[in-house]
Structure 1
Amino acid sequence: MSAPRRRKREVEEEHDDKERWLVSYSDMMTVLVALFIVLYAMSQVDVDKFNELRTSLAAGFGAPQVSILTDGAGLMNDTSSQVVAPTIDGIVPTLAGAAHQTGTENGSGESVAAADLAAARAEYADMEALAERIEAALAERGLDGALQFRINERGLIIGMVTDEVFFAAESAVLTETSQIVIDTVAPYLTVLPNEISVEGHANSVPTTSRYLTNWELSSDRATQVLRRLVENGGLPGSRAAAVGFGEARPLLPNETPEGLAGNRRVDLVVLSDEPERIRELLPLIPTLEEG
């Protein structure tokens, strides 16, 4: 009887696929085609709608009505027959950005921009009226001119320039005059819904007292003013904060006597609660009103 034959183990030869790179290549080409399609779609601008928006915004802010001639001529041909539409950047520098951020909720770029400007004018008028009421109340107590008022994109800034009136040199102790001024201002701030930021500043003269630096000195002055507003004036602490800037934000050059006096101050900032696009227009209101 013969021994059983052993079956030879069949070894399949591994197939060498030399065309596998085509799969990766085709995937890459598909992605590139999709990318170029997206880029092409993003590059398309509706010129007619853009010109209508530009013209309506310019007309809404006092620029003359314009027309754009489309006679098929090239950009560099016979410029005497072309009318260039004026931009509104010279009228309201930040208006274009504001209109872009708000969109066209009511279907017209002009109405959106006009609404923003109207809101900025109303906010500026409210801040200005608040400053006038505070100034009148101080004048009744013989303290007219004790505070400095200015309006910027943050809101109304009420400047308490120390100059030995509100604080002694290198001291955070409130003087009698500063207490009267703060108590006079407090009722007008308490009834507002706005956040109040009490900001201490110092000049560049190094401290020699118990304060290590002007950071501590300016912070302590801001804190003392805030405590007076909250504890005696009834300002809700949830709407107030105190911060010290040291000598980092001077109003005037510290090299002059005026700068040394003016930079040693505490600012009461009535923060505007309007959207950013409205607040950015506030510094432009006086210029627009004069124009």
Structure 2
Amino acid sequence: MTTLAAVSANFTRDLNQNYALIETLVDEARERGVDFLALPEAAIGGYLSSLGNHGDTVKTTGRSLPPAISVDGPELRRVQSIVGDIIVAIGFCELAEDGETRYNAAALLDGGQIYGTYRKVHQPLGEHMSYSAGSAYPVFATPVGRIGLQICYDKAFPEAARMMALDGAEIIASLSAWPAARTATAENLQDDRWTYRFNQFDIARALDNQVFWVAANQSGTFGSLQYVGNSKVVDPGGNILATTLLGSGMAVAEVDIAAKFAEMRGGMFHLRDRRPDVYGKVAELDEAGTATWRGLTHA
């Protein structure tokens, strides 16, 4: 059996606060026998303070941007010193080798090694003003299974999870700083339309690809953003095994990965029964190298 967990918590610019919170969460995870723990997007240094055309811009903002850290820097080593033998997915702002380019990134690690890193591919609203975009969806072999990583808005794109499933991912960790709607926000955030989308994407991507889906999200507020929590573990049948709902906390589920895969993939064959021969436009580019799209036009 394998125990999977997803965290809902609030992370800020205060790195010492982040490390203390990670330590508290890891202690809880260890007490609950967790083998794989997903922490949210931007768990080291916090996320952007706003999104949209008024978002944070590296060159012009007066706001504090997330600290950019190197993969081989002291920040991730500090996290490794905390987590020990628990495998952890954690989000951070990566500083590239050129010392200038920044990525919204995630690392998969334990106390002994970094299994791999991921750079967010899909960028919502004004996020491109602060980060460059990644260009790949790697899957990493770990002691708990093959794990893929994605970040927040990535979950809205079926192709992202599908690529990892085709590469043998058994678990996909989706790390988010997913806020409530900016306008017409519901009085009860659990009923907010962005909360609804967040939860539906998690269920659909697990079921689409018949994988275990571990979704971690920030909670509370930061800048102008109010996060919706709802961290969860979803099984390959799209069943939510555990969830934090709006609050901070840890969703924990004990699963039998091999048995559930045999059950789900032995009855319905979502990956085997694909028809790539009719999916041409999914990966079609125009002459400028831009994805083709027949949008609606109005006279």
TM-score class, shorter: under 0.3
TM-score, structure 1 normalization:
0.26
Higher radius of gyration, 1 or 2: 1
Q: Which has the higher strand share?
A: 2
